[in-house]
Amino acid sequence: MLPLINEKGIALTHLIVCSLHVNENGQIHLNDYPPSNPMFYTLWNETAVMKNAGVKIMGMVGGAAPGSFSSGTLDGDKATFNKYYGQLRDVIKKFKLQGLDIDVEQAMSQAGIERLVDKLRSDFGPSFIITLAPVASALSDGGNLSGFDYKLLDSRKGSKIHFYNGQFYSGFGTMSRPTDYTTIVSNGFSASRVVAGQLTSPSNGYGYIPYEQLNATVISLRDKYGQIGGVMGWEYFNSAPGGTDEPWKWAQIMTQILRPNSVPKLAISTEIAQKLAAAFNDSVKSNPVWATKSGGVLGVDYHRMINV
């Protein structure tokens, strides 16, 4: 991930590690494994370097996989909530996450989401970043996967929520034109708190918008509002036009569209490079498939990134 701040012309502000899944009668997982699994050593070491460069490192809980927000986990009674929230809290603390994106794609009660927001703010303080990731139409009283009312949530808890990562794709909104975004702002959400979530590749779902078209929409919105919340990409590893070999190129293009003069500075010493290389090797060794594909060859030359 380090090319996101090592390559020229990328103004990355937040990186979201996803997806954390809260499992009823089980333990919290990062995708299919516990967050402390050795395969994630590279992830956690690289995010530490990015954090030192000024990038905010967040986690994301939920997503398309069901279960995190059911009555048996985070939307349960007090005892149930405390049990599973405790797992989530411990991950945030252990990996020093600076925020949490809450992606509710199953029915959850209004009281349940408000309790979660309140608890996060109470436990982690005012500097902790709390965001939500609704489908874009849910912010204009349209199609909604979450079950609760986002406008009501914002009226009650908006002071505790930094911004919304609206999913403007998969039939729930589009940035091919300004209309869907302006409708959300007209519904009471400040443009500075609405991030336009975009597919980074046609392979990642329905509703991919070409760069030229997205740029025209963003220019129109900035002319109207002065500033918008930004652009979020789903997801990093195969972002076009670079694909899996150079996924950071998408971020370069977004920077040109949004904020070309705000690029964080990466600092890597010899000690950090050695630590990253060791973590990479440990991550590869933990997964037989990765080990076979790599043939024991380090896939990233961290020593070439040394600049201090």
DSSP letters for 28-79 = -EETTB-TTSGGGHHHHHHHHHHHHTTPEEEEEEEESSS-TTSTTTTTS-HH
Tell me what percent of the residues of the chain surpass a pLDDT of 90. Answer: 78
pLDDT tens for each residue of 125-147: 999 999 999 999 999 999 999 99
Give residue 196's pLDDT: 98
Q: Which CATH superfamily is domain 3-263 in?
A: Glycosidases (3.20.20.80)
Q: What is the DSSP letter of 135?
A: B
Domain ranges of the chain: 3-263, 267-308
Instruction: Tell me the C-alpha to C-alpha distance, in Å, between residue 240 and each of 176, 202, 244.
Output: 17, 8, 8
pLDDT tens for each residue of 76-116: 999 999 999 999 999 999 999 999 999 999 999 999 999 99
Helix (H), strand (E), coil (C) string for 211-234: HHHHHHHHHHHHHHHCCCCCEEEE
Instruction: Tell me the C-alpha to C-alpha distance, in Å, between residue 15 and each of 68, 102, 124, 234.
Output: 21, 14, 19, 11
Residue among 141, 221, 135 at smallest CA distance from 176: 221
Tell me what percent of the residues of the chain surpass a pLDDT of 70. Answer: 94
Number of residues that this document lists for the chain: 308
Look at residue 306 and tell me whether its pLDDT is greater than 90.
no
Helix (H, G, I), strand (E, B) or coil at 278: helix
How many C-beta neighbours within 10 Å does residue 251 have?
Answer: 23
Sign of the torsion formed by the C-alpha atoms of 117, 122, 127 and 128: negative
Place of tokens 């996967």: 145
Look at residue 262 and tell me whether its pLDDT is greater than 70.
no
Q: Please, which pLDDT band fits residue 16 given cuts at 50, 70 and 90?
A: very high
CB 173 within 8 A of CB 220: no
Measure the CA angle with vertex 77, ends 71 and 81; round to 5°: 80
Sign of the torsion formed by the C-alpha atoms of 85, 149, 63 and 165: negative
Q: What is the DSSP letter of 8?
A: T
* Average pLDDT score, the chain: 93
Cα(12)–Cα(218) distance, integer angstroms: 17
Look at residue 264 and tell me whether its pLDDT is greater than 80.
no
